[in-house]
């Protein structure tokens, strides 16, 4: 039975006022209890708000919660804070949707029987903001986050519906987070003089839904915007052509003379500076030494193209850059070494089970465990964790994703990536973005409003990119002592196979450059999911639009491999890859100037020689024994006959 047939027979009505769900399947009918988000097993533990404070300087809200265990057993308790924003006439006019509750903070605390623990949770006030996609900004752009004036109720929840306690805070004036006043998280992530604020990048996706007469569910008009039965519609011809074709010579956006074409960097021939990848460990993204290192790129080296075009389960060694080969493997539920491998790895629980724990420390320990296994089997890149949202129960990858809530998913992913990075693992979180289908995803186009894309489907990735961190150990210059620095741990990401609108996620300029790199300040390597795209120019589009590596087993051809714009995009891709791997376990413990040799080690050669000598001696001994036995037999026969 197809998914469509199932959906036709399975009709679900969810009441907005009752926690009950009526399910009809064919002619059968029964009722089942709907369990709200974050419902725990029944326990005898009480929670109350002890204090709520707002610091204007840091713009941070802090809540102190007391958790008391009046039961008969020790145990863990989830502390969860929800916000209820005001919904006003301004929101209805500007098409801003606001849920009744948003999860804004959570943690988990261990409380002994008869005891009590006090726990502090805090978050930036800007996290109460909503995204307004129809707001006109002073600089002429559209869309920004804004914190609307009014009363915000903060609820200490038993789950997403029921509460232990609550408090109301007042926002005295509306704050718009546009280019003149970006969010603090954007300033922290970009660390530049000119911070890029979030603005609309997916207007075409929203506009297409309106053009096709699609009705978007709205709080402003519940009755007349309810969803109808699913329908099938063919993609408009002009959009189909945009999805199918890319010309690197003439594309108006990222072609050789496009609006967003990268600034050409012309190097007549490779210039050796003596730098190798080990020299770049610990170097800042904007360190001038990177230019000298990248000037050594030799585009005639086959290994360089292997690294860029056939990065499936590994990245090639590139001699000109002193980069050794890496081993990179799937997946979110545990490292899959492959059926033919002699190396054993562990299959962990499904990620949805980890999500149900609401336990960041456990997620960090999970990442550490992945990292320990990686060190044992010689792994550098890990195609995980899965960070997408549980939009539907029919998604074939739900077991690899944490939750239906973006904050929970993002915080757990951040902890997991940080734990893996503590062991030097380069995590390729996936599938970026809006993936909710496990089928021929290359034929899937996903449509959503800009607000839904940002607040639900990108939010989990945003949190992980901005908050995951680790401590890097490296040798600085000629020092014999290890230096330490705290850096962002999210240095890898995998582009999804599906499309947002008509743009393939793994080659979407708005997604990869506009949001990921410019708004979130991502620094690292971006690899495609298995590249089954066979359209003309699609490989060029990967690199022109922000991708760094193509995941596939076989080589591919670029339509334009040698124009200044093409070389600039490839040079940028090489930098992204080398930055990520220089700060991974691939270069862990390497002193500046060290290179990896793939010849036979002297000690191994000596062992081979010794083994060979023993084998030869053993063969000589066997031959000698056989000759002696034959000689004795002949002598016995000779003397016996006389």
Residue 586: phi and psi, rounded to 5, are -60, -30
Binned at pLDDT 50, 70 and 90, residue 339 comes out as low
Instruction: Please tell me the predicted confidence (pLDDT) of residue 594.
Output: 87
Q: What angle do CA 583, 585, 590 make, to 5 degrees?
A: 80
Instruction: Please tell me the predicted confidence (pLDDT) of residue 601.
Output: 77
Binned at pLDDT 50, 70 and 90, residue 12 comes out as very low
- Flag whether 217 is in a domain: no
> Measured between alpha carbons, how far is 104 from 251 in angstroms, rounded to an integer?
42
- Secondary structure element (H or E) that encloses residue 499, with its range: strand 499-500
Q: Are the beta carbons of 121 and 107 closer than 8 angstroms?
A: yes
Instruction: Please tell me the predicted confidence (pLDDT) of residue 534.
Output: 77
Whether pLDDT at 590 is above 80: yes
**Structural domain total, the chain:** 4
Shared domain check, 634 and 566 = no
- Flag whether 592 is in a domain: no
Q: Would you call the peptide bond into 525 cis, given omega within 30 degrees of 0 as the criterion?
A: no
Instruction: Please tell me the predicted confidence (pLDDT) of residue 441.
Output: 66
Whether pLDDT at 229 is above 80: no
Query: Who has greater pLDDT, 265 or 408?
Result: 408
Domain end residue (candidates: 166, 200, 234): 200
Instruction: Please tell me the predicted confidence (pLDDT) of residue 640.
Output: 63
> Measured between alpha carbons, how far is 173 from 609 in angstroms, rounded to an integer?
81
> Measured between alpha carbons, how far is 498 from 500 in angstroms, rounded to an integer?
7
Q: How many CA atoms lie within 13 A of 565 on its CB side?
A: 23
Most confidently modeled of 32-41, 363-372, 630-639?
A: 363-372
Q: Which two tokens stand for residue 373?
A: 């296994």
- Flag whether 335 is in a domain: yes
What is the chain's mean pLDDT, rounded? 88
Beta partners for residue 120, in sequence order: 64
Mean pLDDT over residues 263-279, rounded? 82
- Cite the beta strand spans of 185-344 per DSSP E: 314-315, 326-330
> Measured between alpha carbons, how far is 357 from 374 in angstroms, rounded to an integer?
25
> Measured between alpha carbons, how far is 153 from 87 in angstroms, rounded to an integer?
12
> Measured between alpha carbons, how far is 180 from 192 in angstroms, rounded to an integer?
14
Binned at pLDDT 50, 70 and 90, residue 396 comes out as confident
Report pLDDT digits (tens) over 381-395: 999 999 999 988 888
Q: How many CA atoms lie within 13 A of 143 on its CB side?
A: 17
Write down the H helix ranges in 52-172.
Answer: 89-93
Domain of residue 16, residue span: 3-33
Shared domain check, 352 and 286 = yes
Mean pLDDT over residues 119-124, rounded? 97
Shared domain check, 296 and 148 = no
Binned at pLDDT 50, 70 and 90, residue 17 comes out as very low
- Flag whether 210 is in a domain: no
Q: Which residues, 6+ apart, have CB-to-CB distance to 597 below 8 Å?
A: none
Q: Give 3-state DSSP helix, strand, coil % of the chain, rounded to 5.
A: 35, 25, 45
Tally of CB atoms within 10 A around 423:
20
Q: Which two tokens stand for residue 217?
A: 């569910």
Residue 190: phi and psi, rounded to 5, are -85, -30
Q: Are the beta carbons of 359 and 108 closer than 8 angstroms?
A: yes
Q: Which residues, 6+ apart, have CB-to-CB distance to 40 below 8 Å?
A: 77, 78, 158, 159
- Flag whether 223 is in a domain: no
Mean pLDDT over residues 156-173, rounded? 94
Find the radius of gyration of the CA atoms of the chain.
30
Instruction: Please tell me the predicted confidence (pLDDT) of residue 245.
Output: 83
Beta partners for residue 116, in sequence order: 68
Instruction: Please tell me the predicted confidence (pLDDT) of residue 124.
Output: 97
Q: Which two tokens stand for residue 170?
A: 């007042």
Query: Who has greater pLDDT, 461 or 627?
Result: 461
Shared domain check, 309 and 191 = no
Shared domain check, 542 and 434 = yes
Shared domain check, 436 and 334 = yes
Would you call 545 helix, strand, or coil by DSSP? coil
Tally of CB atoms within 10 A around 181:
12
Whether pLDDT at 41 is above 70: no
Instruction: Please tell me the predicted confidence (pLDDT) of residue 407.
Output: 98
Tally of CB atoms within 10 A around 107:
18
Q: How many CA atoms lie within 13 A of 369 on its CB side?
A: 16
Instruction: Please tell me the predicted confidence (pLDDT) of residue 43.
Output: 63
Strands 492-495, 426-432: pairing is parallel
Report pLDDT digits (tens) over 494-539: 999 999 988 999 999 999 999 999 999 999 999 999 988 778 899 9
Q: Are the beta carbons of 389 and 460 closer than 8 angstroms?
A: yes
CATH of the domain at 404: 3.20.20.300
Q: Which residues, 6+ apart, have CB-to-CB distance to 267 below 8 Å?
A: 295, 297, 567
Whether pLDDT at 262 is above 90: no
Q: Which residues, 6+ apart, have CB-to-CB distance to 59 below 8 Å?
A: 124, 125, 126, 184
- Flag whether 495 is in a domain: yes
The dihedral over CA atoms of 614, 601, 340, 421, expressed in degrees to the nearest 10, equals 150
Binned at pLDDT 50, 70 and 90, residue 25 comes out as very low
Query: Who has greater pLDDT, 77 or 235?
Result: 77
pLDDT-wise least confident of 59-63, 575-579, 629-633, 638-642:
638-642
pLDDT-wise least confident of 122-126, 334-338, 346-350, 561-565:
334-338
Quick one: how far is CA 150 from the chain centroid? 35
Shared domain check, 552 and 617 = no
Strands 102-111, 45-55: pairing is unpaired
Whether pLDDT at 29 is above 80: no
Shared domain check, 49 and 17 = no
Distance linking the first and last C-alpha atoms of the chain: 93
Whether pLDDT at 19 is above 50: no
Report pLDDT digits (tens) over 421-459: 999 999 999 999 999 877 776 778 888 999 999 999 999
Shared domain check, 446 and 425 = yes
Whether pLDDT at 16 is above 70: no
- Flag whether 639 is in a domain: yes
Binned at pLDDT 50, 70 and 90, residue 264 comes out as confident
Q: Which residues, 6+ apart, have CB-to-CB distance to 302 below 8 Å?
A: none
| Ordered DSSP codes for 426-458 | EEEEEEETT----S-GGG-EE---HHHIIIIIT
Whether pLDDT at 97 is above 90: yes
Shared domain check, 474 and 424 = yes
Instruction: Please tell me the predicted confidence (pLDDT) of residue 11.
Output: 27
DSSP conformation class of 399: G
Q: Which two tokens stand for residue 220?
A: 């402003």
Q: Are the beta carbons of 117 and 44 closer than 8 angstroms?
A: no
Q: Which residues, 6+ apart, have CB-to-CB distance to 337 below 8 Å?
A: 329, 343, 344, 345, 377
Q: Closest Cα to residue 580, out of 525, 503, 504?
A: 525
Q: Which residues, 6+ apart, have CB-to-CB distance to 467 below 8 Å?
A: 410, 411, 414
Whole-model pTM?
A: 0.89
> Measured between alpha carbons, how far is 85 from 98 in angstroms, rounded to an integer?
7
- Flag whether 467 is in a domain: yes
Number of alpha helices (DSSP H) and beta strands (DSSP E) in the chain: 16, 24
- Residue located via tokens 């230019």: 291
Shared domain check, 636 and 571 = no
Q: Which two tokens stand for residue 282?
A: 């610990």
- Residue located via tokens 């393939």: 504
CATH of the domain at 122: 2.60.40.10
Mean pLDDT over residues 196-207, rounded? 94
Binned at pLDDT 50, 70 and 90, residue 15 comes out as very low
Shared domain check, 618 and 562 = no
């Amino acid at each position: 039975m197809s998914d469509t047939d199932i959906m036709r027979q399975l009709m679900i009505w969810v009441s907005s006022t009752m926690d009950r769900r009526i399910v009809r399947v064919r002619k059968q009918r029964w009722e089942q209890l709907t369990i709200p988000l974050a419902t725990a097993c029944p326990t005898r533990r009480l929670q109350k708000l002890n204090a709520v404070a707002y610091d204007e300087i840091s713009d941070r809200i802090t809540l102190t919660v007391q958790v008391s265990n009046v039961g008969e057993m020790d145990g863990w308790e989830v502390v969860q804070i929800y916000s209820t924003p005001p919904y006003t006439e301004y929101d209805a006019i500007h098409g801003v949707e606001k849920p009744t509750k948003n999860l804004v903070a959570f943690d988990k605390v261990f409380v002994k029987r008869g005891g009590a623990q006090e726990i502090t949770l805090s978050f930036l006030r800007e996290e109460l903001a909503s995204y307004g996609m129809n707001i006109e900004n002073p600089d002429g752009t559209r869309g920004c986050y804004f914190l609307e004036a009014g009363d915000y109720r903060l609820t200490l929840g038993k789950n997403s519906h029921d509460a232990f306690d609550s408090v109301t805070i007042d926002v005295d004036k509306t704050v718009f987070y546009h280019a003149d006043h970006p969010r603090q998280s954007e300033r922290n992530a970009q660390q530049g003089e000119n911070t890029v604020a979030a603005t609309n990048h997916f207007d075409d996706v929203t506009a297409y839904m309106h053009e096709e007469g699609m009705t978007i569910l709205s709080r402003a008009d519940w009755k007349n915007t309810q969803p109808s039965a699913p329908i099938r519609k063919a993609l408009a011809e002009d959009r189909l052509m945009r999805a199918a074709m890319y010309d690197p010579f003439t594309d108006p956006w990222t072609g050789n003379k496009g609006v967003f074409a990268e600034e050409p960097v012309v190097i007549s021939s490779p210039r050796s500076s003596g730098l190798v990848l080990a020299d770049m460990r610990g170097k800042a993204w904007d360190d001038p030494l990177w230019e000298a290192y990248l000037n050594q790129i030799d585009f005639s080296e086959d290994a360089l193209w292997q690294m860029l075009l056939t990065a499936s389960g590994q990245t090639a060694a590139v001699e000109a850059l002193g980069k050794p080969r890496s081993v990179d493997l799937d997946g979110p539920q545990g490292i899959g070494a492959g059926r033919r491998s002699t190396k054993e790895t562990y299959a962990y629980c499904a990620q949805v089970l980890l999500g149900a724990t609401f336990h960041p420390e456990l997620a960090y320990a999970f990442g550490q465990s992945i990292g320990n296994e990686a060190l044992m089997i010689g792994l550098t890149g890990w195609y995980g964790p899965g960070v997408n949202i549980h939009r539907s129960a029919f998604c074939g990858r739900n077991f690899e994703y944490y939750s239906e809530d973006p904050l929970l998913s993002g915080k757990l992913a951040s902890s997991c990536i940080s734990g893996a990075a503590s062991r030097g693992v380069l995590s390729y979180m996936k599938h970026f973005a809006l993936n909710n289908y496990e089928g021929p995803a290359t034929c899937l186009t996903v449509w959503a409003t800009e607000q839904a894309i940002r607040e639900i489907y990108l939010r989990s990735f945003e949190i992980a990119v901005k908050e995951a961190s680790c401590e890097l150990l490296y040798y600085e210059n000629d020092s014999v002592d290890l230096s330490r620095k705290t850096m962002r741990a999210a240095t890898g990401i995998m582009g999804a196979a599906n499309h947002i609108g008509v743009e393939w996620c793994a080659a979407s300029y708005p997604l990869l450059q506009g949001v990921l790199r410019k708004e979130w300040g991502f620094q690292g390597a971006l690899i495609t999911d298995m590249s089954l795209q066979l359209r003309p120019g699609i490989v060029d589009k990967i690199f022109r639009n922000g991708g760094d590596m193509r995941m596939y087993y076989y080589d591919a051809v670029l339509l334009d491999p040698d124009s200044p714009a093409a070389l600039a995009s490839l040079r940028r891709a090489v930098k992204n890859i080398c930055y990520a791997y220089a700060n991974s376990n691939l270069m862990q413990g390497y002193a500046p100037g060290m290179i990896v040799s793939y010849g036979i080690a002297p000690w191994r050669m000596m062992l081979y020689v010794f083994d060979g000598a023993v084998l030869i001696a053993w063969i000589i001994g066997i031959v000698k024994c056989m000759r002696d036995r034959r000689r004795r037999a002949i002598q016995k026969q000779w003397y016996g006959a006389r």
